[in-house]
Amino acid sequence: MTAGRLSIIHVDLDAFFAAVEQRDHPELRGKPVIVGGDPRSRGVVSTCSYEARKFGVHSAMPLRTALSLCPDGIFVPVDGAKYQRVSREVMTVLRRFTPAVEQVSIDEAFLDVAGSEGLFGTAPDIARRIKAEVVAATGLTISAGVATNKLVAKVGSDLRKPDGLVVVQPGQEAAFLAPLEIRRLWGIGPKTAERLHGLGIRTIGELAALPVETLVRALGDHGATLHDRALGIDADPVVGGGEAAKSVSHETTFEVDVTDAAEIERTLLALTEGVSARLRSAGLRAGTVAVKVRDSQFRTVTRQKTLPEPSDLTDTIWRAALELVRPEVRGKKIRLLGVAATQLGRPEQTTMFEVVDAKQRRVVDATDAVRRRFGDRAVTRASLLNRGLPSPFERDPASAVEGRVGIAKVEDEIE
């Protein structure tokens, strides 16, 4: 049992993309809205309204499946640029209450309000004010969880959607979690859940009651971590106030499986354009480049490479990604392609590589300036024109759940 201070808030916009579309198009309100694009395509659901969820539609579901479940659903394309603008508006509201804001995806964030109570009241009071101000600023509802740590606050915000507020008092963390299904706990994905079901474990309380030695034998060291979490123990601090993000990524699902190497390389370049531009916008450089490749048999591989020097230049990141991708796509039909920049940090000093890349630096600085003034589509590479490639600044629905500069904290699976 923990007994920390009630100062952590997790906020999560309700059905974010769908809610934005319903806000901007009143004729969609009260109707099953599914964001992801043409239901005849091979894309996936980015998110859907609560009206659509009643039919069993959910995020990451193939659009064709969503259509079969909800034939009267209204399918709309992902408007990544618009959602990013609204997200920034919400984050601006959050930072009125504390500089300790950790944005973990486009539609959710953690706050530590321990230093703000003298100005705004208790943590539950602050959560209520945030909810009201987000509605006033954007017309959107937000659900919130308030607790002594991030884990419990996150679980709380998910429980009473939409427009919910759950407060877990200090010392009540384990009791609050106990009746909930184990999949609500960070780090428990389908495979881990299956193993725990084999041990007769269905609820978080049953997991907490299991001897830690049993969990370690079944799951390795991860079992001990899950045992702590089942008791509501989480020492992870809110990382805010300008701390660097952990990752920037961009991926796309092809309409038709691709075998042409040139098309794959052009697509990788388009994805890298988006990643590198977002790095530069955030003042970050990547120390490591990672790629994700999924073939027609749904086999997925990820590979990564450490750069000689951290970089935010498109060509540098693309060359590294290309080196990783080429052996993985040879002789295969490719369904999905992704690139990510990780090990992020801020530049500290000019290096030898900076001198060598000075010309590239001038080019990207000028390009970024044009895009800031005239829009993201104002400048693009000749090799990417009229190719039907993903826009470098609008992510595929499969990756749209990620933040602009950061991937959601919730862990899917550790195997």
Cis? peptide before 32, omega within 30° of 0: no
CB 339 within 8 A of CB 290: yes
Say how many C-beta atoms besides its own lie within 10 A of residue 297's C-beta: 10
- The catalytic residue positions are 108
List the structure tokens of 260.
């042409």
Which residue, among 38, 40, 18, has the nearest Cα to 29 in the 3D structure?
18
317 CB-contact burial (10 Å; exposed 0-12 / middle 13-18 / buried 19+): buried
What does the alpha-carbon distance between residue 271 and residue 340 come to, in Å, rounded to a whole number? Answer: 9
- Do the Cβ atoms of 178 and 205 come closer than 8 Å? yes
Q: Let me know how long the chain is.
A: 415
DSSP codes joined into one string, 172-224: -HHHHHTTSBGGGSTT--HHHHHHHHHTT--BHHHHHHS-HHHHHHHHTHHHH
Query: Can you spell out the DSSP letters for 233-294?
Result: ---PPP--SSPPPSEEEEEEEEEEEE--HHHHHHHHHHHHHHHHHHHHHHT-EEEEEEEEEE
